[in-house]
Amino acid sequence: MSSRIGFVGLGIMGRPMAKNLLKAGHEVTVYDIMPSGMDDVAAAGAAKGASPKDVAGKTDIIITMVPDGPEVEQAVLGPNGVLEGAKKGAIVVDMSSINPTVSQRVGAACEAKGVEFLDAPVSGGEPKAIDGTLAIMVGGKKDVFDKVEPILKLMGSTVTLTGKIGAGNVTKLANQIMVACNIAAMGEALVLATKAGLDPEVVFNAVKAGLAGSTVLNVKAPMVYGRNFKPGFRIRLHQKDLRNALQAAESLKVSLPLTSTVQNMLIDLMNNGKGDLDHSALVQVIEEASAVEVKKP
């Protein structure tokens, strides 16, 4: 059975996610501050909304997918925001990656107006958004989750309820810490091997079936020695996620020494104009310090 779904935020991730809902036969109304995003998804069959408020007034489930917490608060709580148009009993699903405390604040505001809320950030980058195979981590009430799970499964291959509101984003931050530290460690290893005169592709093939093997290694190592830093997930977005992780850690009195180190590496890249490269470009910080470039001989 098709649902009336609103989708606010049509960036590199939001566009393919909204298109997958259309492909499944759902009626989708979209909004983005950039007209090009709406034009692209409208060409696939979506209706255009005039604002988040307008989108919410025409739909029963409203998905938001925007860059960070301030944008979520603006889109949901601000003037002409989702809550101004949402009907009582509507469900707001924020799929942005943000600070968990913001999710809890937005969830409380929704509850006060009789609107249900889930935080449901994703992992997998643009390729998995296109394929509909994202990993989706959800926080909120189980009965609300059960209602939207079939819709989320159109965008992700795994959809997991991880706890109360905010738990989805805590889980996403944990994911982002592991990915960032894994990429940084991979970069150090490939720089060492290259400086020692080895072919980094040979080293990759030698270790990938052992304990060091991982999805991160399989996807990112070929990008590094192939010198392909076209963004699947941008440096500036991963820096944002680690900033949120460190802020959450501070509030919980948790020490994240490796996360702090990798965050400084990401900031270094951003300060050198590389914020829109793929996060595999973390290797470039290590390359510069080591006077070597990871590439095939």
Active site amino acids: 172
Distance CA 284, CA 16 (A): 30
**3-state per-residue secondary structure call for 235-286:** HHHHHHHHHHHHHHHHHHCCCCHHHHHHHHHHHHHHHCCCCCCEHHHHHHHH
Distance CA 29, CA 45 (A): 9
DSSP class of residue 86 equals P
Neighbours of 112 (CB within 10 A): 9
Closest to 145 measured CA to CA, from 111, 115, 117? 117
Distance CA 297, CA 295 (A): 6
CA atoms within 13 A on the CB side of 243: 12
Contact residues for 288 (Cβ-Cβ < 8 A; gap 6+): none
Give the helix/strand (H/E) hosting 287. Answer: helix 283-290
Distance CA 16, CA 3 (A): 18
Distance CA 95, CA 152 (A): 10
- Helix (H, G, I), strand (E, B), or coil: what is residue 31? strand
Tokens, residue 86: 């949402």
Contact residues for 271 (Cβ-Cβ < 8 A; gap 6+): none
Distance CA 7, CA 38 (A): 10
